[in-house]
């Protein structure tokens, strides 16, 4: 399984997972909304841990940066004139 998520994307998903889990228990984990929030939390957590998003794969997307994007590690344009 090839990672297709950036570090920022993974961090956001961890935050969403934690928030959704907390909200699930606030509204009642046995309620329909609580169960839905727990499902969202589990999906967000699993995708964050694995670094792979099936939806991104289905649409041919990736938030993972590539080394061949023409930028150096400092985020500035690479000097390719040499």
| 49-78 tens-digit pLDDT | 999 999 999 999 999 987 533 443 444 444
User: What local confidence, expressed as pLDDT, does residue 76 receive?
Assistant: 46
Which candidate, 48, 50, 28, places its Cα nearest to that of 38? 28
Q: Does 29 fall in a domain?
A: yes
Q: Are the beta carbons of 18 and 67 closer than 8 angstroms?
A: no
Q: Does 78 fall in a domain?
A: no
What's 15-65 look like in SS3? HHHHHHHHHHHHHCCCCHHHHHHHHHHHHHHHHHHHCCCHHHHHCCCCCCC
Q: Does 1 fall in a domain?
A: no
Q: Does 41 fall in a domain?
A: yes
Range of the domain at 22: 7-58
Q: Does 25 fall in a domain?
A: yes
Phi, psi angle pair for 79, to nearest 5°: -85, 105
What is the total count of domains within the chain?
Answer: 1
């Amino acid at each position: 399984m090839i990672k297709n998520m950036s570090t920022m994307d993974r961090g956001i998903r961890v935050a969403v997972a934690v928030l959704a889990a907390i909200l699930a228990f606030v509204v009642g984990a046995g309620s329909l909304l609580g169960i839905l929030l727990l499902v969202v939390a589990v999906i967000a957590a699993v995708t964050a841990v694995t670094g792979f998003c099936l939806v991104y794969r289905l649409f041919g997307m990736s938030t993972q940066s590539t080394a061949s994007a023409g930028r150096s590690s400092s985020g500035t344009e690479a000097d390719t004139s040499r």
